[in-house]
């Protein structure tokens, strides 16, 4: 009786429960499909996706050598997204800094700052070393150069007196007779009172000679980037995601119209003494901006693709076996990292961590320096 009344009720209830269940299952299906779709889309980006940095757990092996800090090493995602990872545009910057790939480096000590004029002077006093920029180039080295061009010097930036198209860097770079580490922008300049400024006009062999004397070596590009990221994962800058957190300037870069006038809003028009800006998460200064720094890797724009194609995690990568820059195929170039006081979003925003620079090994400039590392 009640049963008869009850039964249909139950049936209708069951039906509605079934419907509810069906709706729930449909919802679950839609949600999981969306999740799967999102995952698939993410996988399509694949190579441009950063994964967490996994620092090694081991403690520093003993006391840090003077002026150096311990970088734990570990596994991290290396490189920069082609669009600058959040920037609207990043001219010239990162077409050679992809794909993002997984790398592992061992722990090492790293100079907390770029090598300074004061430190380099000690090396020169102790060894009598003569830098490349101080040596007169020979006819054998440059068989086609007119004799009057065979003078010692370095490459120097000079602002232009009017707006120029940013397609020809010879408008602001020139070879200046007598420019060397003691006279960074030419004979009229000097380094008096600038012991704490990064040393400039340093060619690769000069940096190597200093490192050897100091019982150190130059960092690999992977070591430099691991250190620069300061324990963060896939951030745009060595300090985080915002260029000026709370309005604070975090690195020495260029403000104003490039290459006409650097307004120096960050406190420095031109080079700054080391430690003028906050250190990164590992206690390293100037890992972005101020001066470019030599790395020991040969430069090839396709190196990250080579590593990605191999698959897996690249273990302590040391760069390709030989250099090749399609833009200047006859020049032997090594990697530069970090960007300089000339970097700006109008022309070259390579203070963005993960982006790469490059330079002919015998060429020093007035925005290029170096720092050393040491394995335990």
The yes or no reply on residue 292 touching Ca ion (CB under 5 A) is: no
Residue 146 has what DSSP assignment?
-
Which is nearer to Ca ion, 221 or 266 (by Cβ)?
Answer: 266
Q: Give whichever of 172 and 341 is closer to Ca ion, judged by the CB atom.
A: 341
- Closer to Cu ion by Cβ: residue 350 or 371: 350
CB of 188 to Ca ion, least distance (A): 22
Beta carbon of residue 170, minimum distance to Ca ion (angstroms, whole number): 23
Residues 361, 366, 367, 369, Cα dihedral to 10°: 60
Name, in order, each residue with C-beta under 8 angstroms of 336's C-beta and a sequence gap of 6 or more. Answer: 292, 293, 294, 295, 356, 357, 358, 359, 368
92 by Cβ neighbours in 10 Å (0-12 / 13-18 / 19+) ranks as middle
C-alpha distances in angstroms, 373 versus 139, 207, 218, 294? 36, 12, 6, 12
Query: Judged by CB under 5 A, does residue 290 bind Ca ion?
Result: no
Residue 53 in the binding site for Ca ion (CB under 5 A): no
Which of 108, 272, 136, 294 lies closest to 198, judged by CA?
Answer: 272
180 binds Ca ion (CB under 5 A): no
The dihedral formed by the CA atoms of 302, 305, 309 and 310, expressed in degrees to the nearest 10: 80
Select the binding partner of residue 348 from Ca ion, Cu ion, none (C-beta < 5 to 8 A, by kind): Cu ion
Q: Which of 77, 220, 252, 290 binds Ca ion (CB under 5 A)?
A: 252
Cβ of residue 191: shortest distance to Cu ion, in angstroms?
A: 23
Q: Minimum distance from CB of 31 to Ca ion (Å)? A: 50
Shortest CB 288 distance to Ca ion, Å:
12
Adjacent-strand bridge partners of 103: 76, 314
Region of 62-70, 176-184, 266-274, 328-336 interacting with Ca ion (CB under 5 A): 266-274
Residue 48 near which of Cu ion, Ca ion, none (CB within 5-8 Å, type-dependent)? none
Binding site for Cu ion (CB under 5 A): 339, 343, 348, 350
197 near Ca ion, rule: CB under 5 A = no
- Residue from 266, 286, 345, 360 in contact with Ca ion (CB under 5 A): 266
Least distance to Ca ion, CB of residue 351, Å: 11
- Name the residue among 225, 253, 216, 148 with its Cα closest to residue 371: 216
For residue 194, the minimal CB distance to Cu ion (Å) is: 22
Separation CA 11–CA 33 (nearest Å): 32
Question: DSSP letter string over 257-305?
Answer: STTT----TTS-SS---TTSS---TTS-S-SSSSSEEEEEEEP-TTHHH
Contact of residue 339 among Cu ion, Ca ion, none (CB under 5-8 Å per partner type)? Cu ion
Number of residues that bind Ca ion (CB under 5 A): 4
Query: Residue 216 or 367: which CB sits closer to Cu ion?
Result: 367
- If one counts every other C-beta atom within 10 angstroms of the C-beta of residue 109, the result is 21
Q: If binding is defined by CB under 5 A, does position 366 make contact with Ca ion?
A: no
Which residues contribute to the site for Ca ion (CB under 5 A)? Answer: 252, 266, 268, 341
């Amino acid at each position: 009786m009640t049963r008869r009344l009850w039964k249909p009720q139950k049936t209708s209830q069951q039906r509605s429960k079934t419907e509810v269940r069906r709706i729930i299952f449909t919802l679950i299906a839609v949600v999981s499909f969306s999740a799967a779709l999102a995952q698939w889309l993410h996988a399509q980006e694949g190579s441009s996706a950063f994964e967490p940095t996994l620092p090694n757990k081991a403690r520093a092996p003993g006391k840090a050598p003077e002026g150096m800090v311990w970088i734990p090493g570990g596994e991290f995602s290396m490189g920069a997204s082609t669009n600058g990872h959040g920037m609207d545009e990043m001219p010239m910057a990162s077409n050679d800094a992809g794909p993002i790939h997984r790398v592992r480096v061992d722990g090492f000590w790293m100079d907390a700052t770029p090598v300074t004029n004061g430190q380099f002077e000690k090396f020169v006093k102790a060894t009598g070393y003569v830098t490349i920029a101080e040596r007169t180039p020979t006819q054998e080295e440059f068989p086609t150069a007119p004799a009057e061009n065979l003078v010692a010097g370095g490459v120097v930036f000079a602002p232009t007196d009017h707006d120029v198209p940013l397609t020809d860097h010879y408008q602001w770079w020139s070879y200046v007779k007598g420019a060397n580490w003691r006279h960074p922008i030419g004979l009229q300049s000097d380094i008096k009172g600038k012991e704490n400024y990064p040393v400039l006009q340093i060619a690769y062999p000069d940096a190597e000679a200093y490192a050897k004397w100091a019982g150190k070596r130059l960092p690999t590009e992977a070591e430099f980037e691991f250190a620069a990221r300061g324990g963060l994962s896939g951030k745009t800058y060595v300090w985080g995601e915002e260029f000026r957190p709370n309005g604070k300037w975090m690195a020495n870069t260029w403000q104003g119209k490039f290459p006409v006038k650097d307004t120096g809003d960050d406190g420095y028009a031109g080079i700054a003494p080391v430690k003028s800006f906050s250190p990164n998460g590992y206690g390293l200064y100037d890992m972005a901006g101020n001066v470019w720094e030599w790395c020991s890797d040969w430069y090839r724009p396709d190196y990250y693709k080579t590593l990605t194609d191999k698959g897996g995690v690249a273990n302590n990568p040391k760069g390709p076996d030989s250099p090749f820059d399609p833009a200047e195929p006859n020049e032997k170039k090594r990697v530069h990292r970090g960007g300089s006081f000339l970097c700006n979003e109008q022309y070259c925003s390579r203070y963005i961590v993960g982006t790469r620079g490059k330079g002919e090994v015998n060429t020093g400039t007035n925005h290029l320096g170096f720092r050393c590392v040491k394995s335990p």
